[in-house]
Amino acid sequence: MSKWNLWIFAALILSSSHISLAPAGEGGLDAASTEALFKTQQLLRDPEQRNKVIGDSAEAQMVDAQVESLAGNPQYKEAIYSLSNEVFSDLVHTTDGNPEEMQKVLMRAKENPKGFYEGLNEKNKKALQELSNTIIHSPTTKSESGSPR
């Protein structure tokens, strides 16, 4: 497993969250976009809320199962969702909450995760590197042969 695989799943989390943002006005996020961002961030941070949404969506269940498999344990799963939350916030702000632009960015991320990674801010790059290294070197994410999943 590489950090790019981790990032692909993080992008999948975001793109399958059925995010619904109203377009922002000139100069930043409008009130509806700000509220939608807040609610989505709550969802990504709160496992109980997230599980309710996941329970209602076959696609979200599939993505959550992939994240769980990738993470190897609940702590890392929450760390992946937490990082997705940070990246999502940046994505909303850099696209001024424009849902079409956000979808374009996420589609490009699936096709070119390395390019998407390179576009992250330094804080999120560092967090992704640290999380990837932690997961890769964790005994709970290694196969019986000792190599990462």
Please check whether residue 58 lies inside any domain of the structure: yes
Number of domains into which the chain is organized = 1
Q: Is 40 part of any domain?
A: yes
Determine, yes or no, domain membership for 143: no
Terminus-to-terminus CA distance in the chain, angstroms?
A: 5
Residue 12 has pLDDT above 80, yes or no: no
* pLDDT exceeds 60 at position 51: yes
Supply the mean pLDDT for the chain: 77
Q: Give the residue numbers spanning the domain of 39.
A: 3-16+33-138
Asked if 36 and 19 touch (Cβ cutoff 8 Å), the reply is: yes
**Residue 146 forms part of a structural domain:** no
**Burial environment of residue 142 by CB neighbours within 10 A (0 to 12, 13 to 18, 19 or more):** middle
Model confidence pTM above 0.85: no
Model pLDDT for residues 124-135, shown as the tens digit of each residue: 989 988 998 898
In a domain, 147, yes or no: no
